[in-house]
Amino acid sequence: MATFKAIRIDKTNEGQTVGLVDFDEKDLMDGNVTVNVEWSTLNYKDGLALTGKAPVVRRFPMIPGIDLAGTVETSSHPDWKAGDRVILNGFGLGETHLGAYAGKARVNGDWLLAAPPGLNGRQTMAIGTAGYTAMLAVMALEHQGVTPDCGSIVVTGASGGVGSVAVMLLAGYGYQVVASTGRSAEAGYLQGLGATTVIDRQELSGPVRPLAKERFAGGIDSVGSTTLANVLAMTKYGGAVVACGLAGGMDLPTSVAPFILRAVSLIGIDSVMCPMPERRKAWSRLASAVDRTKLGAMTEEIGLADVIAAGPRILEGRVRGRIVVNVG
């Protein structure tokens, strides 16, 4: 059996330890497909796992990393053969199943998707769970009947991973995008992605009123807490808000007023266990909708050895756009 480099999280009486180690292939978990991991990415959830700030990791030792792109090495699964290019997002990877920050991963073949045509491994991980979540959110707004002619869409946490891709996708589909960020220096970056207006996040973080002036036809929120409550209170009659993150907290200090007086819909997005047909649709749309130039401009590349130090950065809001991890 071969060894390869991996980031391993161990549990101690004092907490958790994280290090770059030589990992033995025989210690991988059960699965019917072994993948040579070439690329991964850093999401907010990965930052939580690496720092131990939230109980993302459910077993120890754990290799974190919830996204991978790579090539099948061996397979006993009927859908996959050696040499197939695949991606994987979620399904407990990096939480309950040894994850992507390693040279190899052994997984259940039912979790895999064929790499989307027209996107290389680096690009799929520049999108990653954050971008795939953003597309699920856009699809949810469309399903709810929120079209470009309904009015502007607010994107909170717009400088982050989900927010950056959401701004780019919405603008590409013809929506007027209001980008909310706590980093005023990123206004030009967000306008370059297609934002029509950039607002300071303080406009959405004040005391929550049951109803406020109607401003938005809908929203994509990755912050939660007071920010989400204010967005709901500012959403127009019949509008919809998609919740897909909790960077600002898990609480929701709102009332029923937006729902029963303005018929506002609050839609939750789960990317981890999302059914395969919906995943395939999202990734098919991403392959055609993503502007490769803008994706490249929002992406920073690091190596596997740099991942541990990058974990705190993403939690502290010091990451703009996306980080890809060159595992190979």
Instruction: Please state, in angstroms and rounded to a whole number, the distance separating the CA atoms of residues 315 and 99.
Output: 20
Q: Which of 1, 5, 3 is nearest to 327 (CA)?
A: 5
How many helices, marked H, and strands, marked E, lie in the chain? 9, 15
Q: Which of 105, 142, 122 is nearest to 301 (CA)?
A: 122
Residue 192 — φ and ψ, nearest 5°? -65, -25
Average of per-residue pLDDT across 189-211: 96
Would you tell me how many other CB atoms lie within 10 Å of the CB of residue 276?
Answer: 11
- In one-letter notation, the amino acid at residue 44 is Y
Would you tell me how many other CB atoms lie within 10 Å of the CB of residue 1?
Answer: 7
| Fold: same for 3-115+298-326 and 130-268 | no
What would be the CATH architecture of the domain defined by 130-268?
3-Layer(aba) Sandwich (3.40)
pLDDT at 12 over 70: yes
Q: Can you read off the two tokens belonging to residue 68? A: 């991978």
Task: Let me know: does 37 contact 67? Beta carbons within 8 Å.
Answer: no
Instruction: Please state, in angstroms and rounded to a whole number, the distance separating the CA atoms of residues 199 and 184.
Output: 8
Instruction: Please state, in angstroms and rounded to a whole number, the distance separating the CA atoms of residues 298 and 274.
Output: 26
- Interval 75-128: pLDDT, tens: 999 999 999 999 999 999 999 999 999 999 999 999 999 999 999 999 999 999
Average of per-residue pLDDT across 131-159: 97
Task: Let me know: does 110 contact 76? Beta carbons within 8 Å.
Answer: no
The SS3 assignment for 303 reads strand
Starting at the earlier edge strand, list the strands of the sheet with 197-200. Answer: 197-200, 177-181, 153-155, 216-221, 235-243, 265-268
Report pLDDT for 13.
85
Task: Let me know: does 247 contact 44? Beta carbons within 8 Å.
Answer: yes
Where do the domains of the chain lie?
3-115+298-326, 130-268
β-strand partners of 220 = 155, 242
Task: Let me know: does 253 contact 215? Beta carbons within 8 Å.
Answer: no
Average of per-residue pLDDT across 195-222: 96
Q: Can you read off the two tokens belonging to residue 144? A: 């709810």
Q: Which helix (H) or strand (E) holds 173?
A: none
Q: Which of 187, 203, 201 is nearest to 156 (CA)?
A: 201
- Interval 251-310: pLDDT, tens: 999 999 999 999 999 999 999 999 999 999 999 999 999 999 999 999 999 999 999 999
Average of per-residue pLDDT across 169-187: 96
Q: Which stretches of the chain are DSSP H helices?
A: 44-51, 121-143, 161-172, 187-193, 225-233, 257-261, 276-289, 292-297, 307-315
- Interval 19-68: pLDDT, tens: 999 999 999 999 999 999 999 999 999 999 999 998 899 999 999 999 99
Average of per-residue pLDDT across 2-10: 96
Report pLDDT for 181.
95
Instruction: Please state, in angstroms and rounded to a whole number, the distance separating the CA atoms of residues 174 and 295.
Output: 18
Instruction: Please state, in angstroms and rounded to a whole number, the distance separating the CA atoms of residues 220 and 242.
Output: 5
The SS3 assignment for 235 reads strand
Report pLDDT for 1.
58
Radius of gyration of the chain (CA): 20
Q: Identify the CATH class of 3-115+298-326.
A: alpha beta
User: What secondary structure does DSSP assign to 58-88, as a single string?
Assistant: -SSSB---SEEEEEEEEE-STT--TT-EEEE
